[in-house]
Amino acid sequence: MTQPRARAPRRDILSKQRLRLWLRLLKTSRDVEGNIRERLRTQYDTTLPRFDVLAALYRNDKGLKMSELSGALRVSNGNVTGIVDRLVTDGAVVRVAVPGDRRAQLVRLTKKGMSEFETMAAEHETWVNGIFAGLTADDCDRLMALLEVVDDSAAAASSRNGE
């Protein structure tokens, strides 16, 4: 030992600060998500995963194959099977055979599914706008930029880890 060192080196403080930031990011995200889930449940008797599937199909009016759907939503294949099953039961989507490939099928919104989604999507935007009402346009830009930095880094770490 040459010299007594400061008790908490700068890098350790920064490390703890980043850890607290991650906990805050997680909490904020979960709170907002919980808020939206709750309103979807009580006001539309539906769930976020169902809403997400409808949103993906709304953006693709030709329909999407199951694998395209799970790719777009970044969830597992088997997961989508169950959610689409329930949406079919409720008449919001249909499965359509793909001509020329008997393995695949397209999932498409029905008229009912489309109109239900449009109603919910408009309200959803209002909810989000209310929750983020404390942020100006500049705040949004700053927050967006910082989150992108983190997300790029998380994606890179995941691919290094072989996901």
Which residues here bind a second copy, judged by CB under 8 A? 13-22, 24-35, 38-39, 42, 74, 125, 127-135, 137, 139-140, 142-144, 146-155, 157-158, 161, 163
> Using CB distances below 5 to 8 A depending on partner kind, what does residue 97 bind out of DNA, a second copy, none?
none
Q: Which two tokens stand for residue 75?
A: 């969830």
> Using CB distances below 5 to 8 A depending on partner kind, what does residue 140 bind out of a second copy, DNA, none?
a second copy
- C-alpha distances in angstroms, 132 versus 29, 52, 58, 105, 137? 12, 20, 24, 39, 10
Residue 65 beta carbon to DNA: minimum distance, rounded to whole angstroms: 4
160: number of Cβ within 10 Å: 8
Cβ distance to a second copy smaller for residue 11 or 102: 11
Which residues form the interface with DNA (CB under 7 A)? Answer: 38, 47-50, 65-68, 74-84, 86, 95, 98, 100-105
Cβ distance to a second copy smaller for residue 34 or 91: 34
Which DSSP letter does residue 92 get? S
Specify the residue for token string 């409720």.
Answer: 90
Residue 42 phi, psi dihedral angles, 5° rounding: -75, -35
Cβ distance to a second copy smaller for residue 2 or 76: 76
Residue 90 beta carbon to DNA: minimum distance, rounded to whole angstroms: 9
Quick check: 57 and 94 in contact, CB under 8 A? Answer: no
> What's the angle, vertex CA 127, arms to CA 56 and CA 46, rounded to 5?
50
